[in-house]
Amino acid sequence: MAELEARNEQGGYGWRKPLPPEPFILGRHPDDRNWATEWDNFVSRKHATLHYREGKLHVQKVPTAGNPIFFNNVPIEEFSLHHGESFRIGNTLFTLHDEDAPIEISVAAKEVRNVRFENADKRIEALAALPEIIRQSPDDARL
């Protein structure tokens, strides 16, 4: 099953949800709020229309959206992406995943050292993410 993951590049907030067969709106506060990215003020209330079909996620920027959508580091109005590919709006990275396909995640030691753990809720979020990171690591060297 295909899923879309949203992660704030600055604080780790986010979600990962299965993609519906019908088109939906992605934004900071879309009508149904199921695909909300309320942590990122650079994402418009209704920023993009997304539709997953035939193994690809089709993304189209809503004309009233204020900030660009970056795909392959290029601002673009409309595009399609395959499993493992990502796009960015503001400080949020959106990645298309397929549960049947292996997912590779690597985190540099420098990145881990830069994360400040002052708040208990942030510590719990980091610990909750560890099993998924371990599960997705293909070998000890990449872990």
Instruction: Provide the token pair at 98.
Output: 């397929």
CB atoms under 10 Å from CB of 63, counted, come to: 6
What's residue 82's pLDDT? 93
- pTM score, whole prediction: 0.68
What's residue 101's pLDDT? 54
What's residue 78's pLDDT? 97
CA-based R_g, the chain, Å: 16
- Domains of the chain by range and CATH? 2-98 (2.60.200.20), 104-138 (no CATH)
Cα separation, 47 vs 62, in Å, equals: 5
pLDDT band at 1 (very low <50, low <70, confident <90, very high): confident
Chain segment 8-57, per-residue pLDDT in tens: 887 777 888 999 999 999 998 866 666 888 889 999 999 999 999 988 99
Chain segment 47-103, per-residue pLDDT in tens: 999 999 988 999 999 999 999 999 999 999 999 999 999 999 999 999 999 866 555
Contact 57, 81 (CB under 8 A): yes
What's residue 114's pLDDT? 74
Is the pLDDT at 107 greater than 90? The verdict is no
Residues 6+ apart with CB under 8 A from 45: 27, 28, 29, 30
pLDDT band at 5 (very low <50, low <70, confident <90, very high): very high
Per DSSP, the three-state class of 124 is helix
